[in-house]
């Protein structure tokens, strides 16, 4: 059993909680068993009786922001059906945090401070982080610009075959930023740049660690995205989840916000210099 992983996880958890508490965040708990998991094309929820296990606490956090909480974080288990591999496990620990009146760049500053704090001076994450726009990365490594010219299959395949290996070669932290609007998920359109959305993904040594947005707060646009996604899921033979009406209603009152989800197991793995989750998940 990975004794070292267990002890280092304990240390990491304390440091994360201290980091957020020192910055005035409130630790929150939201439901794990939900009726309406967040509707995403390629994320499948594990059924649990009449409910589903959450794939992320995102929708509840936004309801808390709408209710007036301004800085919140949660560490908890999330579940994604069918994701198994050296970097995937269907049950894993997610850290999410959200800030009202902030955007994805504010969240990036938080993330850099957090990761550098918990890594305690490890070279891996120190210094400036490289910010790499998605369009630039694809033009350089795959020879095309997906913004305004999106092709989902080509995007995904070139991302794993060309862009991610190039990011791995760069080493250290690389932030892939400003995704094509078609890959916005729950992020808002970038003001003045209609083809891209304010979303970034952090890679450390080529391993994807966190996904952040300037949150979409337009209920009509959010409903349109959910409905389109539900139709596509149905067409693919997947479960179309119910639309979370309470969440959509709360968007009416949600301030502009930024938020991020960061995989704790992968962070721990990177800090330990391991290359598989086997090193940090003793019961896998």
Please state the closest distance from residue 25 (CB atom) to another protein, in A: 25
Residues contributing to the site for another protein (CB under 8 A): 40-43, 82-88, 152-153, 155-157, 159-161, 164, 179, 183, 185, 201, 208, 211, 236
Please state the closest distance from residue 18 (CB atom) to another protein, in A: 29
Please state the closest distance from residue 183 (CB atom) to another protein, in A: 6
Considering beta carbons, is residue 208 or 218 the nearer one to another protein? 208
Considering beta carbons, is residue 100 or 212 the nearer one to another protein? 212
Long-range pairs for 231-237: beta carbons < 8 A, 24 or more residues apart: 232/41, 233/39, 233/41
d(CA 104, CA 258) in angstroms, rounded, equals: 5
Helix segments in 177-261, DSSP class H: 219-235, 245-250
What phi and psi, each to the nearest 5 degrees, are found at residue 194?
-65, -15
d(CA 282, CA 3) in angstroms, rounded, equals: 8
Contact 84, 255 (CB under 8 A): no
**Cβ count within 10 A of residue 19:** 18
Taking Cα atoms as reference points, which of 49, 47, 17, 51 lies closest to residue 34? 51
Considering beta carbons, is residue 11 or 236 the nearer one to another protein? 236
Considering beta carbons, is residue 224 or 238 the nearer one to another protein? 238
Helix segments in the chain, DSSP class H: 3-22, 58-66, 104-119, 134-141, 152-158, 164-170, 219-235, 245-250, 264-271
Considering beta carbons, is residue 64 or 185 the nearer one to another protein? 185
How long is the chain? 284
Contact 277, 265 (CB under 8 A): yes
Distances (CA, A) of 104 to 23, 42, 83, 258, 270: 17, 23, 27, 5, 23
Considering beta carbons, is residue 117 or 239 the nearer one to another protein? 239
Considering beta carbons, is residue 157 or 231 the nearer one to another protein? 157
d(CA 256, CA 102) in angstroms, rounded, equals: 7
Considering beta carbons, is residue 156 or 228 the nearer one to another protein? 156
């Amino acid at each position: 059993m990975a004794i070292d992983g267990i002890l280092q996880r304990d240390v990491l958890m304390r440091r994360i909680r201290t980091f957020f508490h020192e910055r005035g965040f409130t630790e929150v708990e939201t439901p794990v068993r939900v009726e309406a998991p967040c509707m995403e094309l390629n994320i499948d929820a594990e059924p649990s009786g009449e409910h589903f296990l959450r794939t992320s606490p995102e929708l509840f956090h936004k309801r808390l922001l709408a209710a007036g909480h301004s800085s919140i974080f949660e560490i908890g288990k999330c579940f994604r059906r069918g994701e198994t591999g050296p970097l995937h496990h269907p049950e894993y620990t997610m850290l999410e945090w959200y800030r009202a009146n902030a955007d994805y760049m504010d969240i990036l500053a938080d993330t850099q401070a957090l990761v550098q704090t918990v890594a305690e001076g490890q070279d891996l994450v120190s210094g400036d982080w490289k910010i790499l726009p998605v369009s630039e990365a694809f033009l350089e490594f795959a020879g095309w610009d997906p913004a305004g010219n999106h092709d989902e299959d080509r995007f995904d395949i070139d991302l794993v075959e060309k862009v991610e290996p190039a990011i791995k070669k760069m080493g250290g932290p690389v932030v892939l930023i400003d995704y094509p609007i078609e890959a916005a998920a729950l992020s808002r359109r970038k003001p003045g740049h209609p083809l891209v959305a304010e979303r970034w993904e952090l890679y450390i040594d080529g391993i994807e660690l966190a996904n952040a947005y300037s949150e979409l707060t337009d209920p009509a646009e959010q409903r349109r995205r959910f409905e389109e996604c539900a139709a596509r899921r149905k067409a693919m033979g997947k479960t179309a989840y119910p639309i979370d009406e309470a969440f959509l209603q709360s968007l009416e009152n949600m301030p502009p916000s930024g938020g991020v989800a960061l995989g704790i197991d992968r962070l721990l793995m990177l800090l330990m210099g391991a290359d598989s989750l086997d090193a940090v998940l003793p019961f896998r």
